[in-house]
Amino acid sequence: MLHVGDGSNTFKRSGIGGVLKALDSDSSSKGERTPPGSVGYIRNRTFFTAAEQVANGRYEDEDRIKTGAAFKAQREIDEQDVMIIGSKDIKKPMKRFKDLEWPLALLENITDSFPDGPTVVQSYAIPYINDPGAGDLLLRSHTGSGKTAAFMIPIINNIAKLKREKKLPPRSPIAVVLVPTRELAIQVAKEGGKLARGTGINICFLIGAIPNSDIRINVERHGCDIIVGTLGKISHFLLDKESSKEGGKAFFSPDHIRYLVLDEADRLLSSEEARTIVDNIKDSMSMRTNYQVIMNSATLSVHEYDDYLLFMPTAITVGQNFPVDSVIQRFVNVSEYPIKNVPDEFRLIQPGIAWRVQKIDFLLNLCHSWKSRNISFPKVIIFVNTKRKAEFVAAALLQRDFRALAMHGDYPLAQRHETINALKDEKIDIIVGTDVISRGLNVPNVDVVVNYDMPVRRAEEYVHRIGRTGRMGNVGRAISFYDPSTDFVMAQMVEKIMLKTNQEVPEYLSYSITAQCDTFLSQALLTGMERPAASLLDSNHVSAWRFIADEAVVQFI
C-alpha cells in the first residue's frame, strides 16, 4: 500500500487519511515497512517502478474491461454509422485481426487483449495507420470503443518493421503520443506495453511526477521507440537543449519521428499555450522526416482542427458525437441550495413537477438505497465542478460510513493514482472527483456515474463523464442531478443527446428549454447565492409557473 504524507495533514479535509489507514490496517499490522513521508521519495519509487514495468511488459492487466452482453449488438449498431471523409483511397475494413500480417508476438498480444475480434473503429482505422503512405487521420468514436489500440497496434507493427530494416541511433523515438493528463499517460503507456510485449518495441512515459534523472536512466537502460506523455514533459525532453545534460541539444532527437498522436485532442488543444507547444513539436519534425498526425477523441469536431491535419487528411467517425446506447441515462430534479431559503411567494417550479430535495440529501438517500438493496455496493464515480465541492461531498459520504475518496488536481499524482487503484481493487466504492478523471481512464466495472453537478455549457464533458460506465458493451447507468435554476443552459444539449440515444426525456427538462431564461436566473438569485431579487421577476413570466408547498415530492425519472 502506498502512503503519502502523514495522513493527518494531507487528507485532513476530506477524511481520506482515516479511510486509508483503516483500509491499510491489515498490511501495517504485519510489520510492512512504510516508506518515508516525502512525496518526492514516494513518487520516484512508485513511477520509476511503473516505468520499468511498462518497458518490460510486466504488470497486472488490471485496466482491461471485459466485453459485456451488449458488445456484439453495439458493434452492429456502430457498423451502420461509419463515415470516412476525405480519403481518395478507401481502404477495406479489417474484419479479423488475422486479415493483416503481424509479427507472431504482436498477434498473440492482440488476440489476448481482444478475444472477440476488432471493434468497429479498429476495423476501419488500423488499415489506414498500418499503411506508411497514408495521410493524417482523425478518429472519432464513442468512449470505450478501443481507440487507443486502434493507433497503437499499427504503430507497433510499423516500428517493428523499421527496426528490422535498419539500426536506429539511441534516444530516437519513432512515435510521440501526447495526452492531456498524467493518469491517461500511464494508462496509454500500459496498454501499449501490453501490446508490445515480446516485440522488441520499447515504450516510455514522461510525466511531471517522474524526476528527469529517472527518465534518463530508464531510457538509457531500455531505449524508447514510443514516447507517451504530457505536453510539458515531452516538450522539455524533445525541444529543450538543456534536457540532455550534454549541452547544445535536446535529450531526444526528433529526426526519426514518424507518428505524432494527439490523444483526447479536443481537451489537449483547449488552450493557446497547449496549441503553441504542439506547433513547436511539429516544427521540430517537419524538415527532417515524413510523419503522420493522428487525432483521437470521442467528441472531436471533424473540421475544427483542419490546420493540424494538412497532409492528405482522412476523418473516420463511428457513431454520432453522443454516448452509447448501453448507458442508461436518468435525471433527478433537485435543488443545489436548501429550499427554505426561497421565499414562499417566489418558490417557482415547472407545472406538474415538484422541486423539493436538496442535492446532498438525495445523494445520501440514493447511496443508502444502494446499500440496502444490493448484495454488493456498486462502483460509483461522482462528478462535481469544483475541488471544494469534491471535498464536501466526499466528507458527507464518509460521515455516513460510505467508502468514498475525493480526487482533483490539487492532490499529487501519487495520491490520485492510489485513489483510482483503490476503486479498482474494491477497497473503496465511490470516487468524488472533478473532470480530471472524465477523460480516457479505464476503470473496470464502473456501475454508476453520478453528475452531482452538470458540466458547464460543454456537451463534450457530459459525454466523456458518463462514458466512464457502459464501456465495451457493458450496461451502465448515469444519473444526473438537474437544478432548473442553474442548469437550464444545458437543457437543450441534454435533450438532444437523450433523443439521439433513444432515452425518454423528462418533462421538466423539456420545459426548461421553452421557459424564459430571466425567470430561471431570478430563481437562482432567490436561492441565496447573490441577493434577494424579487424585484427582478417580471409578472409576465410568472404565469407560466405555479407555487408549490413544502410537502411536494421530487420526481425521480
Question: Within 10 Å of residue 163's Cβ, how many Cβ atoms?
Answer: 17
- Is residue 243 domain-shared with residue 371, that is, in the same domain? no
Asked whether residue 449 is assigned to any structural domain, the reply reads: yes
Asked whether residue 392 is domain-assigned, the answer is no
Q: Do 55 and 148 sit in the same domain of this protein?
A: yes
Residue 543 placed within a domain: yes
Do 338 and 304 fall into the same domain?
Answer: no
Dihedrals phi, psi of 550, to nearest 5 degrees:
-65, -30
Give the rounded distance of the alpha carbon of 531 from its chain centre.
Answer: 37
Whether residue 302 sits in one domain with residue 189: yes
CA distance 384 to 434: 5
- Tell whether 300 and 366 lie within a shared domain: no
Instruction: Among 297, 318, 339, identify where a domain stops.
Output: 318
**How many Å apart are CA 465 and CA 437, to the nearest integer?**
8
288 and 337 inside one domain: no
36 falls within a domain: no
**Is 90 a domain residue?**
yes
Q: Domain boundary residue among 284, 318, 352?
A: 318
DSSP 25-88: HHHHHTTPPPPPS-HHHHHHHHHHHHHHHHHHT-S--TT-----TTHHHHHHHHHTTEEEES-S
| Co-location of 346 and 364 in the same domain | yes
pLDDT digit string (tens) for the chain, length 557 residues: 333 333 333 343 444 444 555 544 443 333 333 333 323 333 344 454 555 555 555 555 555 555 554 556 556 666 666 888 877 778 888 989 998 889 999 999 999 988 888 988 899 999 999 998 888 898 888 777 788 999 999 999 999 998 888 777 778 899 999 998 888 888 899 889 999 999 999 999 898 878 888 888 888 888 899 999 999 899 889 888 666 666 667 888 888 899 999 998 888 888 888 888 888 888 887 665 678 999 988 777 766 666 666 677 888 888 665 555 567 778 777 766 554 444 443 333 333 344 446 888 889 988 988 888 766 788 899 999 989 999 999 999 999 999 999 998 888 888 888 888 888 888 999 999 988 877 656 677 788 899 999 887 666 778 778 877 766 556 788 888 888 777 777 777 777 767 776 667 777 677 666 654 445 455 444 443 333 333 333 333 332 222 222 222 232 22
Residue written as grid cell 427554505: 340
463, amino acid identity: V
Please say which residue of 276, 296, 318 terminates a domain. 318
Tell whether 337 and 259 lie within a shared domain: no
19 in any annotated domain: no
d(CA 265, CA 278): 11
| Sign of the Cα pseudo-torsion (452, 454, 455, 456, in order) | negative
User: Would you say residue 25 lies in a domain?
Assistant: no
Query: What is the span of the domain harbouring residue 456?
Result: 327-385+434-547
Q: Same domain for 206 and 161?
A: yes
Kindly report the CATH number assigned to the domain that includes residue 297. Answer: 3.40.50.300
Q: Are residues 226 and 102 in the same domain?
A: yes
Distance, CA of 36 to CA of 34 (rounded, Å): 7
Considering its fold, how many domains does the chain have in total?
A: 2
62 vs 106, 194, 422, 442, 508, CA distance in Å?
20, 11, 12, 9, 41
Does 148 fall in a domain?
Answer: yes
CA 289, CA 256: separation in Å to the nearest integer? Answer: 7
The set of cell numbers assigned to 356 is 423539493
Same domain, yes or no, for 447 and 346? yes
In DSSP terms, 259 is beta-bridged to 175, 292
Same domain assignment for residues 273 and 363: no
Model-level pTM?
A: 0.61
Question: Which CATH number do you get for residue 510?
Answer: 3.40.50
